[in-house]
């Protein structure tokens, strides 16, 4: 991925929610990443790690607490209202729940045509209708479905309608927030396959948020792993699975059962103890230390920096500091 | 314990249908399987394939009056269950078979303490004293990895996280010392690291108690980890059944093969993904022939009209597909050229 200007660049992005006067939930804390045009960036993590909040904050559905968002080299904060309105035409979102994200009282035509009406991209209602028909075909639905309501469709079909809506304005950038987690396995494959095809055809850039590491692997070029509001590791999709550096990524990968009985029987898992700590009162220093099998003294005192350990491979862990090299070697052996 | 036969549960030719506004749905259409002592059978399939309905029928929990077993037999330790009165059935099932549901959030009553929910079953079914039940419940909590049992017993479900709630549900399922546990997607609602913990716990429990399990899931990774035998369901029927290795390495049914191709594995490079096109048939009007034939790349003329008979690949590996019929030899070659 050698590009000049990243399509999206976020630096030290923060989103805090105030629970009450004394308590603050740090859903996204100091996340920095950039996405090149045409790239698919996957964000993975368990529930509560802040991955959806990250997507929604980038989209502008939440106001960020701090940090910068640059789109196409331009700082979003410095845009005027008109520029922002246009920005939203190029940036679209696909939501997780295909049951909740479509208005049950609107027809398919109304649902998919609405963004085009708001942004006045078509001259007439007739042109809009034609465009909707064309979109339906692109996502693999029958063009005669125009006047049907969402309840007449299955989950996979509804998600296709959601995708058609996201494509209605010919966006450059799509944020897909767990678009397949509510679907059946075989339907998941259909939808991911469709997204990848559309991406190749239209040259879309995509932020793909998921908790399931296998489909993310198929669709993403690079992947970032989040834990408790922090980005803990970031590298190419291939590298993440071949050579995970952060202990959390290693545990996460090792927790996934592999559909192959012989391998499954021989595998040694790293089973993490306990559960995700509360993001309202996160652990000091490294947020993962309470569950980390390699925890050291320094982990409680100092927050590890997000450093480039190998080329293009970032990780936030004290184990990667030079003096701990021997530990890294040890870890790699274990991972094998 | 079952001495007369090593089969704990035998289900034969089970048919279940539901009355709905749209008419009658034939959700389970002739399912047959058995479970031996200490064994884990995984039932896999997409939503709507009838895997949950099958387990509800075995538990005697079909919603009344709409859900009904219309044919077939369910024998538990040699006793026919379908002809028993509901009361007698509950007596047998309540003690011997437990169920673990998908969503630990809704499986627990939010207004009752963990303690009263844990002990309710055993007090009712086994007629033990409250004190004994209390002791037993704490023992069970310990077994599922929840320390500090005495205090936990007084807490309410909202005070626990998702993974801990599922542990409590498992403790509830274990307290009557059942012979069979039916787990319906027990880890689907959980995160992967918590799922790994819970699957490990199942292993541990089975080693310790020798309980048999039916694991209903759509995750083939979970199947590979937990199952001894696997039944693949499609549109209300078991289309292929065999040992775990039969299914993963020697799958014969095109649907099983397609399922295995439609997943991405984290341990090998993911370059290809072959989704299964189309959708399962409508069970309001089940097809005459094979239910998979519309989506099957190998479909033949006969598949559209006649339901495929069961062919045995070997003693334990059964497949419902015309491709395995003896008379299909010539046709199969023709298909392979395509």
DSSP letters for A85-152: HHHHHHEEEE-S-TTTSS-TTS-HHHHHHHHHHHTT-SSSHHHHHHHHHHHHHHTT--GGGGG--GGG
Give the C-alpha separation, B255 to B262, whole Å.
10
Residue with the bigger pLDDT between B271 and B25: it is B25
Question: Nearest CA of chain A to the CA of B268: how many Å?
Answer: 9
ipTM above 0.85, yes or no: no
pLDDT score of B88 more than 50: yes
Residue in chain B closest to A47 (alpha carbons) equals: B191
**Across A177-206, average pLDDT:** 88
Is residue B172 assigned to a domain? no
Chain A residues with CB under 8 Å of a chain B CB are: 46-47, 154, 156, 184-187, 189-190, 192-193, 211, 213-215, 217-218, 238, 241, 251-264, 269, 271-272, 275-276
Q: Percent of chain B beyond pLDDT 70?
A: 95
Q: Does B118 touch chain A (CB under 8 A)?
A: no
Q: Which residues of A touch B277 (CB under 8 A)?
A: 190
pLDDT of residue B330: 56
Contact yes or no for A217 and B266 at CB 8 A? yes
CA atoms within 13 A on the CB side of A176: 34
Prediction pTM value: 0.85
CA atoms within 13 A on the CB side of B325: 15
Size of the A and B interface in Cβ pairs below 8 Å: 120
| Domain containing residue B211 | 7-96+178-330
> Which of A252, A259, A275 minimises the CB distance to B263?
A259
pLDDT tier for residue B265 given thresholds of 50, 70 and 90:
confident
pLDDT score of A100 more than 70: yes
Question: Nearest CA of chain A to the CA of B101: how many Å?
Answer: 17
**Across B279-287, average pLDDT:** 84
Q: Which residues of A touch B279 (CB under 8 A)?
A: 154, 156, 187
Q: Which residues of B touch A190 (CB under 8 A)?
A: 275-277
Domains, chain A, with CATH or none: 8-239 (3.40.50.300), 244-320 (no CATH)
Is residue B213 assigned to a domain? yes
pLDDT tier for residue A330 given thresholds of 50, 70 and 90:
low
Q: Percent of chain B beyond pLDDT 90?
A: 53
- Which residue out of A259, A269, A271 would a mutagenesis test of the B interface target, given it has the greatest number of B Cβ atoms within 10 Å? A259
Q: Are strands B97-100 and B180-184 parallel, antiparallel or unpaired?
A: parallel
Q: Residues 68-97, chain B: which have Cβ within 8 Å of A?
A: none
Is residue B171 assigned to a domain? no
**Across B14-43, average pLDDT:** 92
H or E, element range at A246:
none
Looking at residue B285, which CATH number applies to its domain?
Answer: 3.40.50.300
The DSSP bridge partners found for residue A16 are A26
Q: How many domains does chain B have?
A: 1
pLDDT tier for residue B283 given thresholds of 50, 70 and 90:
confident
Contact yes or no for A256 and B192 at CB 8 A? yes
A217-267 pLDDT, tens per residue? 889 999 999 999 999 999 999 999 999 999 999 999 999 999 999 999 888
Question: Nearest CA of chain B to the CA of A158: how many Å?
Answer: 13
Q: Which residues of B touch A193 (CB under 8 A)?
A: 273, 275
pLDDT score of A327 more than 80: no
pLDDT tier for residue A47 given thresholds of 50, 70 and 90:
confident
Is residue B128 assigned to a domain? no
Phi and psi dihedrals of B87, rounded to 5? Answer: -65, -45
**Across A267-272, average pLDDT:** 86
The DSSP bridge partners found for residue B319 are B240, B311
Give the C-alpha separation, B144 to B202, whole Å.
9
Q: Does B259 touch chain A (CB under 8 A)?
A: yes
Question: Nearest CA of chain B to the CA of A187: how many Å?
Answer: 7
Give the C-alpha separation, B40 to B217, whole Å.
12
Residues 6+ apart with CB under 8 A from A238: B269
B164-185 pLDDT, tens per residue? 899 999 999 999 889 999 999 8
Is residue B150 assigned to a domain? no
pLDDT score of B269 more than 80: no
Question: Nearest CA of chain B to the CA of A108: how many Å?
Answer: 20
Q: Which residues of B touch A264 (CB under 8 A)?
A: 221, 224-225
């Amino acid at each position: 991925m050698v590009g000049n200007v990243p399509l999206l660049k976020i630096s030290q992005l923060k989103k805090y929610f105030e629970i009450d006067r004394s308590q603050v939930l740090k859903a996204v804390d100091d996340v920095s990443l950039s996405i090149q045009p045409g790239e698919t960036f996957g964000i993975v993590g368990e529930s509560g790690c802040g991955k959806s909040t990250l997507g929604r904050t980038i989209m502008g559905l939440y106001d960020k607490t701090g940090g910068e968002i640059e789109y196409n080299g331009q700082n979003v904060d410095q845009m005027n209202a008109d520029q922002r309105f246009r920005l939203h035409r190029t940036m679209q979102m696909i939501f997780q729940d295909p049951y909740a994200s479509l208005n049950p009282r609107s027809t398919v035509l109304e649902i998919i045509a609405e963004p085009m009406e708001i942004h006045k991209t078509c001259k007439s209602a007739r042109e809009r209708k034609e465009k909707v028909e064309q979109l339906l075909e692109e996502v693999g639905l029958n063009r005669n479905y125009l006047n049907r309501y969402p309840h007449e469709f299955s989950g996979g079909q509804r998600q296709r309608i959601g995708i058609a809506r996201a494509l209605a304005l010919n966006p450059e950038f799509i944020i897909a927030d767990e678009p397949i987690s509510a679907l059946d396995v075989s339907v998941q494959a259909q939808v991911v396959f469709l997204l990848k095809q559309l991406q190749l055809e239209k040259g879309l850039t995509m932020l793909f948020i998921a908790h399931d590491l296998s489909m993310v692997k198929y669709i993403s070029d690079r992947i970032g792993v989040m834990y408790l509001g922090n980005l803990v590791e970031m590298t190419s999709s291939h590298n993440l699975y071949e050579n995970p550096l952060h202990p959390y990524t290693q545990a996460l990968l090792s927790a996934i059962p592999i559909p192959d009985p012989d391998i499954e029987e021989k595998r040694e898992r790293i089973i993490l103890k306990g559960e995700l700590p509360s993001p309202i009162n996160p652990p000091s220093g490294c947020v993962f230390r309470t569950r980390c099998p390699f925890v050291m003294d320094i982990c409680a005192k100092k927050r590890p920096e997000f450093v480039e350990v190998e080329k293009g491979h970032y990780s936030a862990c004290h184990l990667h500091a030079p003096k701990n090299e021997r530990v890294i070697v040890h870890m790699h052996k274990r991972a094998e | 314990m079952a001495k007369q036969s090593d089969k704990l549960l035998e289900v034969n030719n089970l048919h279940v249908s539901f009355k709905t506004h749209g008419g009658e749905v034939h959700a389970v259409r002739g399912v047959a399987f058995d479970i031996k002592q200490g064994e884990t059978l995984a039932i896999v399939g997409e939503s709507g394939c009838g895997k949950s309905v099958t387990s509800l029928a075995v538990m005697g929990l079909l919603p009344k009056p709409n859900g009904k077993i219309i044919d077939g037999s369910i024998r538990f330790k040699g006793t026919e269950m379908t002809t028993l009165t509901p009361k007698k059935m509950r007596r047998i099932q309540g003690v011997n078979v437990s169920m673990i549901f998908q969503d630990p959030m809704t499986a627990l009553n939010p207004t009752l303490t963990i303690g009263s929910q844990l002990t309710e079953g055993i007090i009712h079914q086994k007629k033990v004293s409250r004190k004994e039940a209390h002791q037993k419940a704490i023992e069970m909590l310990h077994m599922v990895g929840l320390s500090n049992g005495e205090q936990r017993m007084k807490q309410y479900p909202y005070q626990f996280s998702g993974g801990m709630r599922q542990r409590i549900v498992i403790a509830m399922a274990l307290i009557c010392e059942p012979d069979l546990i039916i787990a319906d997607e027990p880890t689907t609602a959980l995160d992967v690291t918590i799922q790994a913990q819970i699957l490990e716990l199942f292993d541990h429990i089975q080693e310790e108690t020798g309980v048999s399990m039916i694991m209903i899931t759509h995750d083939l990774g979970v199947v590979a980890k937990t199952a001894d035998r696997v039944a693949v369901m499609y549109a209300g029927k078991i289309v292929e059944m065999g040992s775990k290795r039969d299914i993963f390495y020697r799958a014969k049914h095109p649907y099983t093969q397609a399922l295995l191709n439609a997943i991405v594995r984290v341990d090998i490079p993911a370059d290809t993904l072959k989704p299964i096109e189309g959708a399962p048939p409508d069970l309001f009007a089940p097809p005459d022939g094979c239910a998979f034939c519309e989506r099957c790349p190998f479909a033949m003329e006969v598949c559209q009209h006649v339901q495929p008979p069961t062919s045995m690949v070997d003693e334990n590996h059964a497949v419902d597909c015309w491709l395995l019929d003896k008379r299909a030899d010539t046709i199969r070659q023709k298909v392979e050229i395509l």
